[in-house]
Amino acid sequence: MQIGDLIRRAGRQFGPAPALVDGDRSVSFAGFDELTDRLGHALLARGLAPGDRVAVLMPNGIDGVVAYYALAKAGLVRVPLNSRETPHEHAYKIDDSQARALIYTSDPPAEVEIMITAAELPGLIAGAPAGPCDVRRDPGAPLRLAYTGGTTGQPKAVVLTTRSELAEVANFLVDLLPNTRPGSVMLHAAPITHGSGAFFLPHLVKGAPNVILPKFSPAAFLTAAKKHRATSTFMVPTMIAMLLEEPATASAGLVLERLCYGGAPIAPTVLERGIGLLGPVFAQLYGQAEAPLAITCLQPWEHTPDRLSSAGKPYTFVEVQLRDTEGRVLGPGQVGEVLTRGPHTMSRYWRRPEATAETIEPDGWLHTGDIGRWDEAGYLYLLDRRHDVIISGGFNVYPREVEDTLLSHPAVAQAAVVGLPDEKWGERVAAAVVTRTEADEADIIDYCAGRLAGFKRPRVVEIWPDLPVSPVGKSLRREVRDRMVMAAGRTNMLDPSQLTLHALTLRQLGSAAQLAEVTGQPEAGVGSSLEKAVGDGYVIAARGSFMIAPPGRDLLDAVYPEAFAALRADPAVTAAMDSFETGVNKQVLHLTTDWQTMEVGGQRVPNDHGDPGYDEKIIDKLGRVIDKTAQVLAPIADADPLTSRFLDRLGTALTRAEGGETDYVSGVRVDSVHTVWFQLHEHLLRLTGRERPE
């Protein structure tokens, strides 16, 4: 059986019923069958041959799904590209996959032999014949290349076949979604390029429509879920946490039967809140790119208080073992690596025979790299990735266990735990956390002391504005560790009181809490510095806000040359600042102007933000410029923690804007991209001793 056979049968059985819904646009089952047939013919007519790789860079939407399954019908190999990744990452995957064609929306990241824009698709479809596009390929031939997350190194392409795709559909319908029917509705809130896309075919073959959100935000999700009466959805844990933080969720009246989650660890406290708010609808999926979403699952009725941290039991048609380092199979209570076997797994890594041999045993068992244990009832508990285990004083510390403890603290919203080099212990446990309310690092460490053994407790806790994650929401512990190791070798060049004054010159006016956000210092310490500075005449206080006085500016003017002397003498810093001024800074200024106004009839008029497509295009361009800025300013950020912090804050503001909170682009928000960019520029001018260009 081919994937096209499933689409054709659904077209015959469910004909005019809606199969795909995207905003006001809807495509029927029969229409989807015809669109994918026509586009499949058109792609082959452009000179592509079965087995050729075709990269697809398109946002969540109907056109992207049509492209995906037209490729399947034509025997072409899909290489999906996540629109949230950078052009550099896209170019790497296009080159590594040896793609002959690229289907894209705008600004192609690389040139290949056959370039097809999304705007060309309607014309290609209209001009192609209507008969079945039915290229029959061996079930073991490549169907799509799925790239690993790159959390431990350069992403590798996983070869998934028609056989593995059909096995995944069967696993879902037998175990995860057994009640899927024409009355069901799947709401795709996450990128279809990744986990959410696995839910498309199971719903299609059962006559259930797939509703697609272009981008996730809690408000957009709730609106669509109520309008379409969604029964199923898939989210990564970060999305669930955001949904639970949304006040409107409690009264939304959702009719969800399955809220499936996976892709990253989830805190039991988040699940407890979710079950209390939404009911017993949560289902956990454990898988990875090499065995997509189908190793184990924890059903809604299995989400009992004692099993919220479990990954569940193996799917019916999937084998799972735990083995020690000698290859011995382990029983309940013993800790070892998770291996899986079944038709759902990858056939190999693309163009990486050595990595394939290391990962897949001759008898088909696939090494996941995850560490886990069974309980007596056959439930799997994941402890961590093999590569992430911390060894401190000869003891194994599993970061996920420590993260779960941190996440049970009422103020902690996100956590990442890593091992830092330590002369005495080999590694010491360190954590970066994001808080939902004001918290103190020492309090968080004390909280862990009563809940974790001594060798597991974090010795260092840092509060960050956000944590680095992959485009699909996986915590990038490697990047957290790199940042912490780098920061350990650098310090602010201004002392705490000087740093507070410096932040005040960047903000012009601010409270202790706002200045603490700029500098990364504890609010209490900033408050003490401000109180002393007021007494010394350096700062003026008025109704809880502060502004710098002329003597304070004079003090900083005297301090800057000595404090920043080494940076000002560094040729790499000079070159970075030149690139910033002549390149990315001008681009951001143009984009923020474009955000505030738009061209209508040859004239610039105020942007009333009534055109979501226009706004989305600006946000997308801002994201690319901010990515470039991080590269340009790397020589400065490597030496100066405050520059690095500004870059982190820009990333946070952009993420909020991408999630639908467009006031994070420009406006009255003190933490918008525009405001943070202005402060970054002012900081760089003072650091390098330059004047603001005209």
Q: According to the model, what pLDDT value does residue 151 have?
A: 47
- Residues 580 and 533 both lie in one domain: no
The reply to whether 508 falls in a domain is: yes
On whether the CB atoms of residues 491 and 166 are closer than 8 A, the answer is: no
Where among 488, 517, 546 does a domain terminate? 488
- Residues 538 and 577 both lie in one domain: no
The reply to whether 271 falls in a domain is: no
Number of domains composing the chain: 4
- Residues 533 and 626 both lie in one domain: no
Dihedral of CA 259/262/264/267: which sign? Answer: positive
Where among 89, 114, 137 does a domain terminate? 137
- The pTM assigned to this predicted structure is 0.68
Both tokens assigned to 75: 């025997």
Which CATH number is 415's domain given? 3.30.300.30
- Residues 514 and 593 both lie in one domain: no
- Residues 2 and 131 both lie in one domain: yes
- Residues 421 and 535 both lie in one domain: no
The reply to whether 407 falls in a domain is: yes
Residue 659: is it exposed, middle or buried by C-beta count within 10 angstroms (0-12/13-18/19+)? middle
In which element (H, E) is residue 310 found? none
- Residues 439 and 527 both lie in one domain: no
On whether the CB atoms of residues 187 and 233 are closer than 8 A, the answer is: yes
- Residues 527 and 657 both lie in one domain: no
The reply to whether 664 falls in a domain is: yes
Which CATH number is 553's domain given? 1.10.10.10
DSSP 330: -
Partners of 391 in the beta sheet?
396
- Residues 4 and 105 both lie in one domain: yes
**3-class DSSP state of 646:** helix
Q: According to the model, what pLDDT value does residue 424 have?
A: 61
Name the stretches of the chain with pLDDT < 50: 151-152
Q: According to the model, what pLDDT value does residue 488 have?
A: 66
The full DSSP string for 119-185 is GGHHHHHHTS--S-------TTSEEEEEE---SSSS--EEEEEHHHHHHHHHHIIIII-TT--TT--
DSSP 107: S
Helices (H), 148-250: 162-171, 200-205, 218-228, 237-245
Which CATH number is 73's domain given? 3.40.50.980
For residue 134, count other CB atoms closer than 10 A to its CB: 14
d(CA 573, CA 32): 54
**3-class DSSP state of 562:** helix
Q: Which of 568, 592, 571, 517 is nearest to 684 (CA)?
A: 568
Half-sphere exposure of 426 (CA within 13 A, CB side): 10
310's CB contacts (< 8 A; 6+ apart) are: 284, 298, 302, 375, 379, 380, 381
The reply to whether 302 falls in a domain is: no
Q: According to the model, what pLDDT value does residue 525 have?
A: 78
- Residues 636 and 674 both lie in one domain: yes
Both tokens assigned to 287: 């898988």
d(CA 499, CA 501): 5
On whether the CB atoms of residues 225 and 256 are closer than 8 A, the answer is: yes
- The boundaries of the domain holding residue 631 are 567-688
The reply to whether 537 falls in a domain is: yes
The reply to whether 23 falls in a domain is: no
- Residues 419 and 464 both lie in one domain: yes
Q: According to the model, what pLDDT value does residue 565 have?
A: 87
Where among 137, 156, 186 does a domain terminate? 137
- Residues 469 and 550 both lie in one domain: no
Residue with tokens 């009422």: 410
d(CA 424, CA 426): 6
The reply to whether 116 falls in a domain is: yes
